[in-house]
Amino acid sequence: MAVAKRIVLHFPKRIVDRPVVCRLAKDYDLEFNILKALVTPEEEGLLVLELSGEQEAYDKGIRYLTQAGVKIQSLSQDVLRNEERCTHCGACITICPSGAFELDPVTRRVSFYNEKCVACGLCIKACPPRAMEVHF
Amino acid sequence: MTKTIDEINEKIKQGKAVVVTAEEIIDIAREKGIKKAAQEVDVVTTGTFGPMCSSGAYLNIGHSKPRIKLGGGRAYLNDVPAYTGLAAADLFIGANALPDDDPRNKVYPGEFNYGGGHVIEELAAGRDVRLEAIAYGTDCYPRKKLETWINIKDLNEAVLFNIRNAYQNYNVAANTSDKTIYTYMGVLRANLGNINYATAGQLSPLLNDPYYKTIGIGTKIFLGGGTGFVAWHGTQHNPDVPRTEKGVPTRGAGSLCLIGDLKQMSPRWLVGTSMLGYGCTLTVGIGVPIPILSEEILDYTTVTDAEISAAVIDYSDAYPNLKPDILGEVSYAQLKTGKIKLKGKEVPTASLSSYPRAVEIANMLKEWIKSGKFLLTEPVAPLPGTESGITLKPLKERPIE
């Protein structure tokens, strides 16, 4: 069974300079699409990937990453909407490049589908009440 | 069929008033006809919830011991400057005010994370706010410096006073230039990448009473979660614009000046708001009841999104340069589908005003009236109408030699 998931990888300082992600393709036959990459001044690395392949290969690839010292999180845990601050105006809808916000035509409420989110961050500052939050 | 506000209030007191929202009345009138609906329905409630920049609040902080004269000095609430051109213990904080050290648009587009609108929200939420003030000192007000926490519950008065709110219709914003622009109408992507609009359409107060036949000075309203009043017509009130046969203005027209006790209000209905690259403002919840005094008045409240159109304005040129050109006219029914056709292109649309919250306000006001806790008021004076001669004048600049 094929799977495709969006994950956030946190690289500790000691492996920032090692080739890790390329082995997912070479050794585990997985495809990856880099959505975001960041190396902080303290030289910790952050990579947001869409990773796809056969379930078995995917599991092995994740095990490899974990053993290499990479901390893995699902992307959906990282971009959140503060439900108390969101007013459901809809300003985010046309800003989001991946269509993660959808307007219900009847209630006019805005739904956020974080599985569609690519963590680009455009909505964060474009949201007038600042209801969108990134927690990397 | 005619009714008076006194008769309606009597029914409200007895718990017998029939109250519906401006959304519900559309189907009721369609089913029963205008005549029957006007007989049965006593009040139609409206609502709107959007960023309203000309909002502010005045506070009386109480006199310190020894006394300080804030008037003519300087004062800051959570680092946001407040206006001190009033007497010793009075301050006014405007929604657009920014801390002196905010970088504004020096780092473009500026984020504007905290300003006067946020201070007003925090006051309404009952949170402590830091007041810092300096004064020049007088014989009767000797103190020159003040640093203290204040809380709305300890203030003598905290009054929301908005000089222009609840615009009757508004521009629809687009961008024809080749770069993204950051406006008070939100982020507008290049080459007609998106379009933003900002009214509650068929639920909006002044669109349901287009000729101001019931809404006037002294009308009691829902304001920021509490009750308030129409204090005056809003600044830039411009009633004499093109209108449809049913009187609906097709451009920005009337506006309201509103006042209400901030102590009654809540942060759910007063939200500090940041417009990227533009500034800070306050999103305000307003609901206005419309007494159904006649069939004509009921007929106005049946207005639908399909019958309300607005002008699409290019915010990369026409708006900043005060040119009269428009890119087109669209109805709110079209805008609400999520995309419109403009210049042969399909353009996605979004709203800056929250329709679900507007519905919630209209329903809250409906419940307040039905339960007898909110009575209607008779306006003490009408708002200037189409015959008033009031027009929106541009600034007449005269060089200073």
* Interface mutation target, options B48, B113, B355, B361, chain A, most CBs of A under 10 Å: B355
d(CA B193, CA B204): 27
Q: Which residue has the tokens 């020096």?
A: B106
- Measure in Å the smallest separation between the Cα of B143 and chain A Cα atoms: 38
Is there a catalytic annotation at residue B140? yes
Q: State percent of chain B over pLDDT 90.
A: 100
d(CA A68, CA A88): 42
Number of Cβ within 10 Å of residue B15's Cβ equals 9
Q: Are residues A107 and A134 in the same domain?
A: yes
State the average pLDDT over residues B87-114.
98
pLDDT of residue A1: 81
Q: Are residues A42 and A64 in the same domain?
A: yes
Contact A91 B273 (CB under 8 A): no
pLDDT value at A13 more than 90: no
Contact A87 B283 (CB under 8 A): yes
State the average pLDDT over residues B34-48.
98
Q: Flag whether residue A125 sits within 8 Å of chain B, measured between CB atoms.
A: yes
User: What is the pLDDT of chain B when averaged over all its residues?
Assistant: 97
Residue A71: give its domain's CATH number: 3.30.70.260
Q: Are residues A41 and A66 in the same domain?
A: yes
ipTM for this model:
0.94
**Number of domains present in the structure of chain B:** 1
Chain A's closest residue to B181, CA to CA, is A126
d(CA B236, CA B238): 6
Domain that holds residue B150: 56-160
Task: Give the length of chain B.
Answer: 401
pLDDT of residue A135: 80
Q: With contact defined as beta carbons under 8 Å apart, do B38 and B25 qualify?
A: no
DSSP helix/strand/coil, B340: strand
Joined tokens for residue B160:
């929301």
In angstroms, how far is the first alpha carbon of chain B from the final one? 63
Residue A44 — pLDDT band, cuts 50, 70, 90? confident
pLDDT of residue B119: 98
pLDDT tens-digit readout, B69-99: 999 999 999 999 999 999 999 999 999 999 9
**Higher pLDDT residue, A118 or B38?**
B38
User: Taking the C-alpha atoms of B217, B222, B225 and B230 in order, what is their torsion angle to the nearest 10 degrees?
Assistant: -10
Number of Cβ within 10 Å of residue B127's Cβ equals 14
| Residue A123 φ then ψ, to 5° | -75, -25
pLDDT value at B199 more than 80: yes
Q: Are residues A11 and A60 in the same domain?
A: yes
pLDDT value at B362 more than 80: yes
Q: Are residues A59 and A18 in the same domain?
A: yes
Residue A39 — pLDDT band, cuts 50, 70, 90? confident
Q: With contact defined as beta carbons under 8 Å apart, do A61 and A26 qualify?
A: no
Q: Single out the residue of B187, B356, B185 nearest to residue A97, CA to CA.
A: B187
Q: Single out the residue of A116, A107, A82 nearest to residue A4, CA to CA.
A: A116
pLDDT tens-digit readout, A66-113: 999 999 988 766 789 999 999 999 999 999 999 999 999 999 999 999
pLDDT of residue B278: 98
Residue B356 — pLDDT band, cuts 50, 70, 90? very high
Contact B353 A125 (CB under 8 A): no
Q: Are residues A103 and A135 in the same domain?
A: yes
pLDDT tens-digit readout, B318-355: 999 999 999 999 999 999 999 999 999 999 999 999 99
DSSP single-letter state for residue B207: G
pLDDT value at A114 more than 90: no
Residue A104: give its domain's CATH number: 3.30.70.20
Q: Are residues A88 and A52 in the same domain?
A: no
Q: Flag whether residue A67 sits within 8 Å of chain B, measured between CB atoms.
A: no
d(CA B188, CA B194): 6
Domain that holds residue A88: 80-136
pLDDT tens-digit readout, B154-176: 999 999 999 999 999 999 999 99
**Closest partner residue to A108 among B113, B283, B355, by Cβ?**
B355
Residue B153 — pLDDT band, cuts 50, 70, 90? very high
How far, in whole angstroms, is CA A20 from its chain's centroid?
Answer: 18
pLDDT of residue A38: 86
Q: Are residues A90 and A102 in the same domain?
A: yes
Q: Flag whether residue A63 sits within 8 Å of chain B, measured between CB atoms.
A: no
Q: Are residues A70 and A90 in the same domain?
A: no
> Which amino acid is present at A129?
P
User: β-pairing, B220-223 with B226-233?
Assistant: antiparallel
Q: Are residues A72 and A94 in the same domain?
A: no
Residue B4 — pLDDT band, cuts 50, 70, 90? very high
Q: State percent of chain B over pLDDT 70.
A: 100
Residue B293 — pLDDT band, cuts 50, 70, 90? very high
pLDDT of residue A78: 78
Q: With contact defined as beta carbons under 8 Å apart, do B168 and B252 qualify?
A: yes
Residue B375 — pLDDT band, cuts 50, 70, 90? very high
Residue B148 forms part of a structural domain: yes
- Measure in Å the smallest separation between the Cα of B53 and chain A Cα atoms: 13
Residue B365 forms part of a structural domain: no
d(CA B60, CA B56): 14
pLDDT value at B117 more than 80: yes
**Closest partner residue to B111 among A93, A105, A125, by Cβ?**
A125
Q: Are residues A52 and A113 in the same domain?
A: no
pLDDT of residue B135: 98
**Number of domains present in the structure of chain A:** 2
State the average pLDDT over residues B133-140.
98
Q: Are residues A53 and A88 in the same domain?
A: no
Q: Which residue has the tokens 């939100």?
A: B186
d(CA B56, CA B95): 5
pLDDT of residue A6: 87
Convert B336-357 to b/e letters by CB count within 10 Å (16 or more is b).
beeebebeeeebebbbbbbbbb
